[in-house]
Amino acid sequence: MVKVLVLGSKEYPFGTNKGDDPIPSGGMETYVDDLAPELSKLCELVIMTRKFRGTKKLEKKGNITVCRVPWLKGKWLRNPSFNFASFVSSIGFMKDVDIIYSNGIISGLVALKLGKLFGKKTVYRPAGIGFLQYRFPLKQALFALERFVLKRSSVVIFHSEGEKKNAQNHFGLKLRHGHAILTGFPVDKFSRKGSGLKKSMGIGNETVITTIARFVPVKGLDYMLKACSRLKGKFKILMVGSGPEEEMLVKLVRGMGMEKDVIFTGFRHDIPDILGMTDIYVISSFSEGLPTSLLEAMAAGNACVVTDIGLPVDHMKTGLVVMPRNMQALRNDIQSLVDDPALRKKLGENAVKFVSENCTQKMAARKHMDIFSKLVGR
């Protein structure tokens, strides 16, 4: 059976970080958490992740071995320290590993080094085009590193053909070794149903507009809030998540006099219920891979408005697509959905059909396994 080393997920399984790291896990961890159980039916997995209080350093369940490594706390230390410890700990597994599967740029570099030292094939999954959110000189350094990893990995897995196309344009690469696999997740878990949350949040018959994200510049959340500042009609905006921009966003809402319209919920564990009461889901990012929250919103039958950054949304069929940073276009599309419940219903139903047919965990695992098998000639 093919054995795959998985790098880059800072928390596995989800829920093991019980306050040790105040920065919540994101899409990278969600992706691995959803994929691993189904993929482990087809191959063996060794998952490198962080050691939290109350967890075992080494744990095996079925075809999944979890190796938890030490790490240093802090925004700028947590990722490098985790990846360095992962590199050291991975050496002990390399004799039996066939493929190294990395998630994100730093783990991609670790994978290339391990692959070169031990003669192993490497599969890289970018976490969006991350360098865009930083400033000089970090932006230029990350651009060079990302391009390096993209060129030298045996295979690159993108979330969609749109993401692959964007990467080729940004980095000036053809990426013939690039493949698109839509994220697999438990679609049925997000089947739309009534939610008792509305009353507890003080929401009546208003149209509910939701975004779920880390509050960081690349998400364009200030653009979204400014776009919504002139909306007409009754609506509530749910800002689900947290991050370094939270204080700025709260001040922005206050400055626009929108305190009654916007609810900052913080980090939530009841996302199916949040999406179950949502009417319109918005992604205003300047760059993304494929946020799992978008697919979850589609599975919940939300009408989605997203920026044109390579996401698998078909304009006027499974959602509405606008150019990044175009505040007026974003406002117009959100307003059209506030005004037109029938359009919301149509887009939501089409979105449910799309994810049900294309985004199950079983489909994603099978496509990964096809690539792994070809790489090792089995």
Tell how strand 303-307 and strand 155-158 pair up: unpaired
Amino acid at 87: F
- Going residue by residue through the chain, which has 378 residues, state the pLDDT in tens, using 9 for 90 and above: 999 999 999 999 999 998 899 888 877 898 999 999 999 999 999 999 999 999 999 999 999 999 999 999 998 899 999 999 999 999 999 999 999 999 999 999 999 999 999 999 999 999 766 555 556 677 788 889 999 999 999 999 998 888 888 889 889 999 999 999 999 999 988 986 656 788 889 899 999 999 999 898 889 999 999 999 999 999 999 999 998 999 999 999 999 999 999 999 998 989 999 999 999 999 999 887 778 899 999 999 999 999 998 889 999 999 999 999 999 999 999 999 999 999 999 999 999 999 999 999 999 999 999 999 999 996
Contacts of 62 (CB under 8 A, 6+ apart): 40
Say yes or no: do domains 3-184+360-376 and 187-358 share a fold. yes
Q: DSSP for 267-312?
A: S-S-HHHHHHT-SEEEE--SS-S--HHHHHHHHTT-EEEEESSS-S
- Tell me what pLDDT residue 128 has: 64
Claim: this prediction has a pTM higher than 0.85: no
Using alpha carbons, select from 311, 309, 302 the residue that is nearest to residue 334.
Answer: 302
- Tell me what pLDDT residue 94 has: 97
The answer to whether 251 and 215 have CB atoms below 8 angstroms apart is no
- Tell me what pLDDT residue 195 has: 63
Report d(CA 283, CA 328) in Å as an integer. 15
- Tell me what pLDDT residue 138 has: 72
**Dihedral sign computed on CA atoms, order 269, 275, 277, 281:** positive
- Tell me what pLDDT residue 27 has: 79
Tell how strand 207-212 and strand 235-240 pair up: parallel
Report d(CA 69, CA 191) in Å as an integer. 36
As assigned by CATH, the class of the 3-184+360-376 domain is: alpha beta
Using alpha carbons, select from 79, 133, 71, 74 the residue that is nearest to residue 108.
Answer: 79
Report d(CA 164, CA 375) in Å as an integer. 20
In the chain, where the domains are located: 3-184+360-376, 187-358
Instruction: Return the CATH fold of 187-358.
Output: Rossmann fold (3.40.50)
Amino acid at 199: K
322-360 pLDDT, tens digit per residue, is 999 999 999 999 999 999 999 999 999 999 999 999 999
